[in-house]
């Protein structure tokens, strides 16, 4: 499991470790790891052009010492000094190794053009402007340098220098992931000691690129993390496995209340997500049109056609419900929502059911567990907060949703978050932008419903479902049906080592 710690937690851990080490040891470890990563990215260090963007803090010192190591191996290194202070020992090391300096701190005119020329000619740019303490929009000249770096990198065109951020991209809040102004867009972020939440959570994660971790010895000094991420091994350990005593009831019976006259496909996809992810049985309840579609595609599902005013009493016993995909938001749909939430088993609330409970949040007050799976727009309706604010700081708002609603929350987005009261927020690290297509959320609901019915608590069920769903949608272009068809293969790949070990 990956652990991420806030800026305050990191500083406390660093202080405790530095008290036991010779002066400069931590910076030396960080700079060494940074230089090794940059050398690997360059391929050949000798003759390469490296530009260091150097701020006042320790990140600037890390960049200077790393640059000195690259210069000693034959790189042409130039440091752009932008902070009101500079790490003098790091600067001296760079100059001894043959590095050059552009000091813009006292420059009046012309430095922008000189910096633009340096960045445009570079093979690699090392961003050491701001560290983990940076919050809010960067001030000048950091803001201009971040913009010039983005301009030079030519990410859209696929040319320009590689951009490597030191610990965290400048302009990204390391603790929250907020980006409030100009920010460096890195290809790789080399982070030290522990992961930072802002590298894993959007919008900061979109600026971080690939995150490379350098161990500098902080582990024993870090407290319980506020953010974590499951690895494939973690998910494999949590997934339920049938044994010799299993039957379809012990493996879990999922109830699916989804689909409507206008949205038949949502029911097919949600049921399919449950079937393909290993449910012992799926009981589907819906109106005539989706019933016909589900019956045609999933003959293994046990189907109940709901009549107007009919509750779910005729559906039969289930161990968890998936409620809402394509259900509609009219009075008849509200009756179904009320009936399912009045049951005594875990319920996953998604899509149209979220719209309905947003109008009466008291429906979520129940003794049995609830997992809600909104995207930012749906969470906006639940919390009465503009969508833009949620997208700017999803970590804060998923925690707020847990506190206000008293449920487990899976917040869908460019990074999916799972939150439960009293536990770290989990970030899902699988998936790709190709998953942003109609119907994939219905598949996710079915997968999570299966895991709920199999006995996982909502926190683990949501986390594992998001991981599986992301793996199934890692390659595109794709449709929701492509994701559905990939689920079984993903499950087999995770379960196989466990079966072999018996």
25 is in an annotated binding site: no
- Non-local (6+) Cβ contacts of 110 within 8 A are none
133 is in an annotated binding site: yes
Q: Look up residue 414 and give its two tokens.
A: 């460019």
Q: Is 133 exposed, middle or buried (0-12, 13-18, 19+ CB in 10 A)?
A: middle
Q: Could you tell me which of 78, 92, 193, 62 has the C-alpha nearest to residue 125?
A: 78
58 is in an annotated binding site: yes
Q: What is the CATH topology of the domain spanning 2-227?
A: Rossmann fold (3.40.50)
248 is in an annotated binding site: no
61 is in an annotated binding site: yes
412 is in an annotated binding site: yes
159 is in an annotated binding site: no
Q: Look up residue 129 and give its two tokens.
A: 């402007």
Q: Do domains 2-227 and 252-500 have the same CATH topology?
A: no
132 is in an annotated binding site: yes
Q: What pLDDT digit, counting tens, does each position of 375-406 carry?
A: 999 999 999 999 999 999 999 999 999 999 99
187 is in an annotated binding site: no
34, 61 in Cβ contact below 8 A?
Answer: no
167 is in an annotated binding site: yes
Q: What pLDDT digit, counting tens, does each position of 410-464 carry?
A: 999 999 999 999 999 999 999 999 999 999 999 999 999 999 999 999 999 999 9
432 is in an annotated binding site: no
Q: Is 465 exposed, middle or buried (0-12, 13-18, 19+ CB in 10 A)?
A: buried
375 is in an annotated binding site: yes
173 is in an annotated binding site: no
252-500 under CATH 3.40.1190.20, yes or no? yes
136 is in an annotated binding site: yes
479 is in an annotated binding site: no
374-377's contacts with Cβ under 8 Å and 24+ in sequence apart are 374/350, 374/401, 374/409, 374/410, 374/411, 374/412, 375/411, 375/412, 375/413, 375/441, 376/411, 376/412, 376/413
266 is in an annotated binding site: yes
Mean pLDDT of the chain: 95
Q: Look up residue 121 and give its two tokens.
A: 């000619």
Residue ranges per structural domain of the chain: 2-227, 252-500
Task: Return the percentage of the chain with pLDDT > 90, whole number.
Answer: 91
416 is in an annotated binding site: yes
Q: What pLDDT digit, counting tens, does each position of 40-77 carry?
A: 999 999 999 999 999 999 999 999 999 999 999 999 99
Q: Look up residue 1 and give its two tokens.
A: 């499991």
415 is in an annotated binding site: yes
470 is in an annotated binding site: no
Q: What is the model's pTM? A: 0.94
For the chain, how many helices (H) and strands (E)?
A: 20, 18
């Amino acid at each position: 499991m990956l652990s991420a710690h806030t800026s305050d937690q990191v500083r406390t851990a660093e202080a405790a470790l530095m008290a036991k080490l010779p002066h400069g040891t931590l910076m030396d470890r960080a700079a060494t790891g940074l230089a090794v990563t940059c050398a690997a990215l360059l391929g050949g260090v000798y003759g390469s052009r490296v530009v260091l963007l150097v701020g006042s803090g320790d990140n600037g010192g890390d960049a200077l010492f790393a640059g000195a190591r690259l210069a000693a191996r034959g790189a042409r290194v130039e440091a752009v000094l932008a902070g009101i202070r500079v790490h003098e020992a790091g600067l001296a090391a760079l100059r001894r190794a043959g590095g050059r300096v552009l000091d813009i701190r006292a420059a009046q005119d012309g430095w922008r053009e000189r910096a633009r020329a340096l960045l445009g000619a570079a093979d690699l740019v090392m961003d050491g402007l701001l560290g983990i303490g940076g919050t809010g929009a960067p001030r000048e000249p950091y803001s201009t340098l971040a913009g010039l770096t983005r301009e030079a990198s030519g990410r859209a065109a696929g040319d320009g220098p590689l951009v490597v951020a030191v610990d965290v991209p400048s302009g990204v809040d390391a603790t929250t992931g907020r980006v409030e102004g100009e920010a460096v867009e890195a290809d790789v972020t080399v982070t030290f000691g522990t992961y930072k939440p802002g590298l894993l959570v959007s919008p900061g994660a979109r600026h971080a690129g690939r995150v490379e971790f350098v161990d500098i010895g902080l582990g024993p000094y870090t407290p319980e993390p506020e953010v974590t991420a499951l690895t494939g091994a973690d998910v494999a350990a949590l997934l339920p496995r049938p044994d010799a005593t299993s039957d379809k009831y012990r493996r879990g019976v999922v109830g699916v209340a989804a689909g409507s006259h206008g949205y038949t496909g949502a029911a097919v996809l949600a049921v399919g997500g449950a079937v393909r992810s290993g449910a012992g049985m799926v009981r589907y309840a819906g109106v005539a049109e989706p019933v016909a579609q589900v019956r045609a595609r999933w003959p293994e599902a046990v189907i109940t056609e709901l009549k107007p005013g009919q509750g779910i009493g005729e559906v039969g016993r289930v161990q968890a419900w998936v409620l809402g995909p394509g259900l509609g938001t009219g009075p008849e749909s509200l009756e179904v929502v009320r009936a399912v939430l009045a049951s005594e088993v875990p319920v996953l609330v998604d899509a149209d059911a979220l719209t309905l409970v947003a109008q009466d949040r008291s429906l979520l007050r129940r003794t049995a567990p609830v997992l809600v799976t909104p995207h930012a727009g749906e969470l906006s309706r639940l919390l009465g907060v503009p969508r833009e604010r949620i997208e700017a700081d999803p970590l804060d708002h998923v925690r707020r949703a847990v506190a206000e609603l008293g449920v487990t929350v899976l917040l869908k987005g460019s990074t999916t978050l799972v939150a439960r009261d009293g536990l770290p927020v989990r970030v899902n690290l699988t998936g790709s932008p190709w998953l942003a297509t109609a119907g994939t959320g219905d598949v996710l609901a079915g997968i999570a419903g299966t895991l709920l019915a199999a006995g996982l608590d909502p926190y683990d069920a949501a986390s594992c479902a998001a991981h599986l769903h992301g793996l199934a949608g890692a390659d595109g272009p794709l449709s929701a049906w492509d994701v559905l068809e990939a689920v079984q293969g993903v499950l087999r790949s995770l379960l196989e080592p466990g079966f072999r070990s018996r």
